[in-house]
Amino acid sequence: VDGSAEPWLKTLQQAGLRPTDTRRQAMLITQPIEIQDGARYARLLPPIGAHPNGLSLQMDIDFAHPAVGVQPLAINITPETYASEIAWARTFAFEQDVEALQRMGLALGGSLQNAVVFGKESALNPEGLRATDEPVRHKALDLLGDLALVGHPIHGHLQAHRPGHGLTHALTQALRKATDCWRLI
């Protein structure tokens, strides 16, 4: 697999969807829930704007690398925008971090075929980036995947600054406990 969700999405699309008799309940955010770690944060707010029956996302990443830097992303998440704007974004790493990751037992199967690896100035992958903001789109993919583990589609507005799996996990834990901040619809 190429480090994105696109191959999985295509497999699911080829298999097709079938309606069921069970109605899936969504989680409507009614009060803000926030997790902060220094300057990093993730917060869920009640829905805003023109997307009241789904999830809108406003986030940014900030890496001290010339090919990444600060990258913002604002998007209303729908099946269509997920497929066209998020699913294709590949995971990424920085060349100077790869050895340390492997010593920790991580990225052991990593290669230029399943991740974007940034050297000192640019991506080392011969094909380059799929978009200049591919890193923030992959972080959005991570964020949405982690939130899916809550078990309900979320109707709200998600804001995140420099998110990561640990921060999102903490947000999902806080969400599960803060039953006064959401209701099932």
Catalytic residue among 65, 157, 165, 169: 165
Tell me the C-alpha distance between 144 and 39, whole Å: 21
Active site residue 155: no
Q: Please list the active-site residues.
A: 165
